[in-house]
Amino acid sequence: MTVNQPNDAHVPAEYQQDVSQLPRELRELLLAELNAGNTIVDAGHSHPAPPVGAFIKLANLVTTRVRQSGDGLHFSARNNSQYCGEFTDEDRRFFILEASIADSSYPDMDEIRARLEGPGVSPHSVVDEADREALKRFDDSREMTYDRWREGTGYDLAAMMRVSEPSRSAIELSLIPARSWRDVEALVALGSPRAERALLDASRSVDVELRMAVISRAPHLVDEAGRLESVLMALETVAMFGGLSQTLDAVEEFHPPAVVEALFRGLVHRPGDVAYHYATVLAVIHGILSSRFDWSMRPQLLAFNTTNMTERREAFLKLYDLVKTTPTFSNAVVEQMAEGLRGAHP
């Protein structure tokens, strides 16, 4: 029996440049899907990919492999209106997305305003020139560009707050469900009961970045148990360019014993670049470094950025021996981890 092998023949010309830049694992997945009859419906350089990367969106769910992490790829189910699943690699710059079953477009704000204002009212008849200008500014700010991604620039919230009440309600509806930290930031600014309900939903999302965005921007909405659950979930899964900075910000403020234990576990089990940042934040919360931007220990902490597990364990023990002498450290679970590593590698 002849088995069809993935090939580039099924890649439409307009997508070939983006496809050629995909990391090997993602490219093989994409070509296998195209070979099996799936099709590309969109490609771009915005959320969830940074502008220096790209996403490729498929028309249907992936069927050529199990929809879970493994073989160098990370899978996340995303229950939102843009896409329902994503595959990415550790760098999180390129993504294969599965199109949402629901309509993936933002709701039409004119249509929403008309519904809010009642039958027989043209939305354009109630939008004056100032309102129209503010709406245009807000809409323009929703487009993700490289500079906005690099600088972490959100939406034009000043313009959002200047529009009329019907227009603001339309914007609010277009932000629900929240899809990114920028949506979260805008919902926090709106502050309505409906916006807060959407933020609570986001705080329970399978999307770690959304959870951490709510914790950092609306901590009053999340109780301590929910905060702990989200931080632990993030520490197990977060990646570079995928909410790591927000997670570390949260950890600096909130680090009960379970969080410290998760950080130490990550020194051994998470990718090297992530382990380096976990080591840095451990040094900060135990008073060894003044901030995550204090590079006085950088050569020592960079030892975590390796795939050599012997070197990683040695770095773990060296940091542990330093941390355990600080007055803020007391954690029996971490002590057991260190004893186990020391016993296995005297």
Position 127 scores a pLDDT of 54
d(CA 198, CA 298): 40
Can you give the pLDDT at residue 9? 61
**Alpha carbon distance 325, 143 (integer Å):** 49
Given pLDDT bands bounded at 50, 70 and 90, which one contains residue 324?
very high
Distances (CA, A) of 189 to 155, 157, 217, 218, 346: 11, 7, 10, 10, 55
Confirm whether 26 is domain-assigned.
Answer: yes
Whether the per-residue pLDDT at 113 is higher than 70: the answer is no
Task: Evaluate whether residue 50 is within a structural domain.
Answer: yes
Within 10 Å of residue 43's Cβ, how many Cβ atoms? 17
Higher pLDDT among residues 103 and 86, named by residue: 86
Beta bridge partner(s), residue 37: none
Phi, psi of 189 (to 5 degrees): -65, -35
Residues in the chain: 346
Which strands sit side by side in the sheet containing 40-44, from one edge to the other? 40-44, 54-58, 94-99, 83-88, 74-77
Q: How far apart are CA 67 and CA 71, in angstroms?
A: 12
d(CA 203, CA 286): 28
pLDDT given at position 84: 82
Place of tokens 């050629």: 20
CA atoms within 13 A on the CB side of 172: 23
Determine, yes or no, domain membership for 158: yes
What is residue 108's predicted lDDT score, i.e. its pLDDT?
56
Average pLDDT over residues 224-247: 88
Across the range 59-68, mean pLDDT stands at 86
The mean of the pLDDT values for the chain is 85
* Cα 123 from Cα 116, distance rounded (Å): 9
pLDDT tens, 154-169?
A: 999 999 999 988 888 8
Residues 57 and 114 in one domain: no
Amino acid at site 69: S
Percent of the chain at pLDDT > 70 equals 88
197-207 tens-digit pLDDT: 999 999 988 88
Q: Which residues of 50-87 are buried (b: 16+ CB within 10 A; e: fewer)?
A: bbebbbbbbeeebeeeeeeeeeebbbbebebbbbbbbb
- Which of the residue ranges 44-58, 72-86, 164-178, 325-339 would you say has the lowest mean pLDDT? 72-86
Same domain, 288 and 311: yes
Q: What does the pLDDT read at residue 49?
A: 81
Which of 60-74, 133-147, 287-301 has the highest mean predicted lDDT (pLDDT)? Answer: 287-301
State residue 66's pLDDT score.
84
Which range (121-125, 273-277, 294-298) has the least confidence? 121-125
Q: What is the pLDDT of residue 343?
A: 80
Total of domains in the chain: 3
Q: Are residues 113 and 211 in the same domain?
A: yes
Residues of the domain holding 85: 8-99
Does a structural domain hold residue 250?
no
What is the b/e burial string over 261-278, where b = at least 16 CB atoms within 10 angstroms of the residue's CB? bbbbbbbbebebebbbbb
For residue 202, which of 19, 52, 79 has the smallest C-alpha distance?
79
Quote the CA–CA distance of 132 and 125 in Å, as a whole number.
11
- Segment among 201-205, 206-210, 268-272, 309-313 with least mean pLDDT: 206-210
| DSSP per position, 44-56 | ESSTTS-TTSEEE
187 found inside a domain: yes
Residue 232 lies in a domain: no
**Quick one: average pLDDT of 235-262?**
89
End-of-domain residue from the set 198, 220, 242: 220
- Examine residue 212 and state whether it is found in any structural domain, yes or no: yes
**Last residue in a domain, options 69, 99, 129:** 99
> Where is the domain boundary, 220, 247, 276?
220
Instruction: For residues 205 and 128, state if they share a domain.
Output: yes
Nearest partner of 240 among 53, 92, 95, 74, judged by Cα: 92
